[in-house]
Amino acid sequence: MKRRIDSTRGHTLVEFVIAIALGLVVTAGVVSLYTTQRNVFERAGDAMRIREAGLSALTLMGQQLQMAGFVPADVVRFNSPPPLFGCSGGRPTGADDNLVCEALASRSDGIVVRYVGDNVSTWASTTGQSTDCLGKAVASNNAALNGQGVLVVNRYFARISGSTGEPELYCEGNGKAGSAQPLVEGVERVRLKYWPVGGLGAIDASGVTAAQWAKIVAVDLCVLVRGAPQGRRVRYVDCDGASVPGVDMRARQAFSRRVAIRNHAADAL
């Protein structure tokens, strides 16, 4: 009697290997798709954070620049310093009536904005006083105002945080002198150019004379914001309009606007 050979037994191992291979292909495809989608999501989230930081910094500084030189109607006499003072590649330091520029490793420009505060131009403190950029109450003892209103002085610049290692936009107000605090994370550099009355173009702070600070009619404001590591080099356009390769695998974007110094433009003309 002849034995009947079951032909299906010889294919079991081959089919098993094929099934494993197909499973690995499908798994690799799913992992690759997940990784790609995750990278896209992270880059989109980083781009959104960069945009939010850039627009927030422009809004905060733009509002303060528009306040430069403001004097309430009930302040009769105001013998103040110029509404603006700036530094190229540094931050303003020292007493308000004797400012000097201290260089910053971030090469960020710095600026001082002065105006007369009241309960309309600033948020009132719990004691009803005018406040600076950090919400600190400013004492109304400035002799130049003869007891009317209070001189608010805010200083802005960008630097690396000593605690987080991330770049941040800082402000130091005269409500608590010498106590700069971060406002917006990710701002790596502030770039400022000034339009003096009668000028043919915007110039750096280093090119503004002492007499011209009282006659600035507009400011070109730009902030460069740094994002999270991307794992790849990303080119960006900086505040000077130059295309720069990102050597540290981080995305960057510059945001800019021109702000009119409306409170002193008429006097300057």
Q: Looking at residue 11, what is its pLDDT?
A: 61
Other residues' Cβ atoms within 10 Å of the Cβ of residue 35:
10
Give the CA dihedral 76, 81, 86, 90, nearest 10 degrees: -130
Number of domains in the chain: 1
Q: Looking at residue 76, what is its pLDDT?
A: 64
Domain range for 161 is 32-268
Considering the domain boundaries, does residue 5 fall inside one? Answer: no
Longest dimension (CA), the chain: 126
Considering the domain boundaries, does residue 1 fall inside one? Answer: no
Q: Looking at residue 36, what is its pLDDT?
A: 63
- 71 by Cβ neighbours in 10 Å (0-12 / 13-18 / 19+) ranks as buried
Considering the domain boundaries, does residue 223 fall inside one? Answer: yes
Listed residue (154, 80, 151) closest to 110, CA to CA: 154
Q: Considering the chain, what is the average pLDDT of its residues?
A: 83
3-state secondary structure of 157: strand
Q: Looking at residue 141, what is its pLDDT?
A: 57
Considering the domain boundaries, does residue 8 fall inside one? Answer: no
Considering the domain boundaries, does residue 115 fall inside one? Answer: yes
Considering the domain boundaries, does residue 189 fall inside one? Answer: yes
Low-confidence ranges of the chain (pLDDT < 70): 1-11, 30, 32-43, 76-80, 140-148, 264-269
Considering the domain boundaries, does residue 67 fall inside one? Answer: yes
Is there a contact between 153 and 68 (Cβ–Cβ < 8 Å)?
A: no
Considering the domain boundaries, does residue 238 fall inside one? Answer: yes
